[in-house]
Structure 1
Amino acid sequence: MATLLRGEVRAILQPAGTAQYTGAYCPPGVPFAEVRRGPFDGKADIAVRPDADGGLPQHMTFGGGRTVYEYDGRDKQGRAVYRYAPRLSPSHRSVMDGVAEVYAEHALKKQR
């Protein structure tokens, strides 16, 4: 668990909600549920620092900005919830193409 500095808020990363995944790229043969999954979902040992006006940052990025999580309010424990944002993540298309390859390979093995 992250040690909080003065003013920081605990945060948790979650899969995309409807607002984040609507219109996101999903290759043929891949269940749309895969679009929701972000590479850091479930990570809860992070903290965010409020802006000067007291609001929390709207986006959190990882991997040099290639993976984006979007602020989606607070949970019952008071943690800031950030949801995977596939439409804003530059790496999303290449990750989904890789997932499509795995699904295609699995389908071929099943046919044999």
Structure 2
Amino acid sequence: MATLLRGEVRAILQPAGHAQYQGAYCPPGVPFKEVRRGPFDGKADIAVRPDADGELPKLMTFGNGQVVYEYDGRDNKGLAVYRYAPNLSTSHRDVMNGVAEVYAEHALKQAKGGQ
């Protein structure tokens, strides 16, 4: 668990909600549920600092800005919830193409009678 400094708020990273994944890239053969998944989902050892107006940052970025999570309010424990934002993440298309390759390999193995 992250140590909080004065004014900081604990945050958790979650999969994309409808608002974040609507219209996001999903290659053929990949279930749309995969679009929701972000690389840091579930990470809860994060603290964010409100700005001078007391508002939390709208976006949180990782990997030199290639992965973006968007603020989505607070949960019932008071944690700030940030949801994966595939439409804002520049790495999303490459990641999804990699996922498509895995699904295609699996389908090929199944077709050949393997596991």
- TM-score for both structures, normalised by structure 2: 0.97
Which residue type is aligned with residue 66 of structure 2? R
Aligned to 1:22: 22
Which residue type is aligned with residue 95 of structure 2? V
Which residue type is aligned with residue 19 of structure 1? A
Alignment size in residue pairs: 112
Q: CA offsets per residue over residues 56-100 of structure 1, 9 Å max, x none? A: 000000000000000000000101000000000000000000000
Residue 10 of structure 1, CA deviation = 0.1
Q: Which 5+ residue runs of structure 2 have no aligned equivalent?
A: none
Aligned to 1:87: 87
C-alpha distance in 2, partners of 1:77/1:12? 11
Once the two structures are aligned, what percentage of the paired residues are identical?
A: 83
C-alpha distance in 2, partners of 1:56/1:87? 21
Residue 108 of structure 1, CA deviation = 0.2
Aligned to 1:8: 8
C-alpha distance in 2, partners of 1:52/1:97? 40
C-alpha distance in 2, partners of 1:93/1:51? 32
Aligned to 1:109: 109
Deviating above 3 A after TM superposition, structure 1's stretches of 4 or more consecutive aligned residues are none
Give me the CA root mean square deviation.
Answer: 0.2
Q: Which 5+ residue runs of structure 1 have no aligned equivalent?
A: none
C-alpha distance in 2, partners of 1:43/1:76? 17
Find the residue that maps to 1:96 and give its secondary structure.
helix
